[in-house]
């Protein structure tokens, strides 16, 4: 089923994100099987910014063979037009219907960079012209790290929508007000496609430090106090993550969010507990 149909009813749609786990794919498929009990509309599979890593085709097939709709992430900043074309062909041959079109982070090693696609809107344009795939794109409730301000980021988001995007998947956030304000700003720009909330349950102090160093993600003071308290206690940190994300999801559902997309980090436990709490 395509993204447009998936987000075409009044119920909040559940979906999950996983990443390729080359060292233990069997374990990943086990975790996905557990998550599948919650009837996700689809599972999305991340990719590295390097063109080669777009090619987790075997894993995409393995997930599909579990009877699950799968949406590959697809970056373009290190890819030539030819390799993008080949990758898209392969994806369509597998029978996949949806794709998350991304630019990817600009590589530090300039030799890896290609200039066939400079921004995600160019990739969306290309996918729209060359395939029948339904297209998701990334959105940033607190602004993308390279953007001077949220307004210019949303103007750039609009370019992806005008190129043919069907849904916006947001970066994770811990302050629902940031998401609600973002939705309002996006709607004010005349963008009307579904905006899906990215949810990441906190699991460890290390994860928080890494995440906040890579992306603009504010941590509310009350949450930060608790995170500091459980710095050395991973069990309590996991339980805090479940409790916090459950409350976040409840509030989002009460405010008619169209979809919740869980960044599972390839572990079913926290996401399953959250869904047990909210469904």
Residues labelled catalytic: 17
Two tokens, residue 177: 């007000």
φ/ψ (deg, to 5) at 38: -90, 15
Q: For residues 119 and 180, which CB has a smaller minimum distance to ligand FAD in the complex?
A: 119
Sequence-ordered list of residues with C-beta below 8 angstroms from that of 5, at least 6 positions apart, any chain: none
Sequence-ordered list of residues with C-beta below 8 angstroms from that of 25, at least 6 positions apart, any chain: 59, 62
Closest contact distance (angstroms) between CB of 15 and ligand FAD is 11
Owner of token pair 């990943």 = 28
The C-alpha atoms of residue 99 and residue 136 are separated, in whole angstroms, by: 6
Closest contact distance (angstroms) between CB of 167 and ligand FAD is 10
Closest contact distance (angstroms) between CB of 53 and ligand FAD is 8
Q: For residues 102 and 223, which CB has a smaller minimum distance to ligand FAD in the complex?
A: 102
Strands (DSSP E) contained in 38-194 are: 42-45, 70-75, 98-102, 134-139, 167-172
Closest contact distance (angstroms) between CB of 277 and ligand FAD is 23
Q: For residues 87 and 198, which CB has a smaller minimum distance to ligand FAD in the complex?
A: 198
Question: 107: which DSSP letter?
Answer: P
Owner of token pair 């089923």 = 1
Residues lying near ligand FAD in the complex (CB under 6 A) are found at: 46-49, 73, 75, 102-105, 119-121, 138, 144, 146-147, 153, 156, 159-160, 169, 171, 198
Q: Strand pairing partners for 43? A: 16, 70
Could you tell me which of 149, 220, 142, 224 has the C-alpha nearest to residue 181?
142
Could you tell me which of 99, 14, 43 has the C-alpha nearest to residue 266?
43
Closest contact distance (angstroms) between CB of 73 and ligand FAD is 3
Q: Contact, 278 vs 251, CB < 8 A?
A: no
Q: For residues 84 and 102, which CB has a smaller minimum distance to ligand FAD in the complex?
A: 102
Q: For residues 133 and 237, which CB has a smaller minimum distance to ligand FAD in the complex?
A: 133
Q: For residues 186 and 237, which CB has a smaller minimum distance to ligand FAD in the complex?
A: 186
Owner of token pair 């890579």 = 214
Q: Contact, 102 vs 73, CB < 8 A?
A: yes
Closest contact distance (angstroms) between CB of 191 and ligand FAD is 13
Two tokens, residue 218: 């504010």
């Amino acid at each position: 089923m395509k993204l447009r149909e998936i987000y075409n009813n009044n119920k909040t749609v559940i979906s999950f994100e996983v990443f390729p786990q080359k060292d233990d794919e069997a374990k990943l498929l086990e975790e996905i099987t557990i998550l599948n009990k919650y009837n996700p509309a689809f599972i999305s599979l991340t990719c590295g910014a390097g063109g080669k890593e777009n090619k987790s085709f075997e894993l995409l097939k393995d997930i599909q063979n579990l009877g699950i709709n799968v949406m590959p992430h697809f970056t373009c900043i290190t890819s030539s037009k030819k390799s993008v074309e080949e990758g898209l062909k392969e994806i369509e041959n597998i029978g996949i219907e949806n794709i998350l079109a991304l630019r990817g982070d600009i590589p530090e090693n300039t030799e890896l960079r290609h200039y066939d696609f400079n921004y995600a809107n160019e990739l969306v344009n290309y996918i729209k012209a060359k395939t029948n795939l339904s297209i998701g794109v990334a959105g940033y409730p607190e602004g993308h790290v390279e953007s001077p301000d949220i307004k210019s980021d949303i103007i750039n988001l609009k370019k992806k929508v005008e190129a043919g995007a069907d849904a916006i998947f947001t970066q994770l956030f811990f302050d629902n007000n940031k998401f609600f304000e973002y939705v309002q700003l996006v709607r004010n720009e005349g963008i009307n496609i579904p905006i899906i909330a990215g949810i990441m349950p906190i699991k460890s102090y290390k994860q928080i430090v890494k995440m906040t160093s890579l992306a603009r993600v504010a941590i509310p003071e009350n949450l930060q106090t608790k995170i500091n308290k459980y710095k050395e206690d991973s069990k309590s940190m996991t339980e805090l993550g479940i409790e916090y994300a459950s409350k976040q999801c409840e509030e989002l559902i009460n405010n008619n969010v169209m979809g919740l997309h869980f960044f599972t980090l390839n572990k079913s436990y926290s996401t399953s507990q959250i869904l047990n709490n909210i469904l």
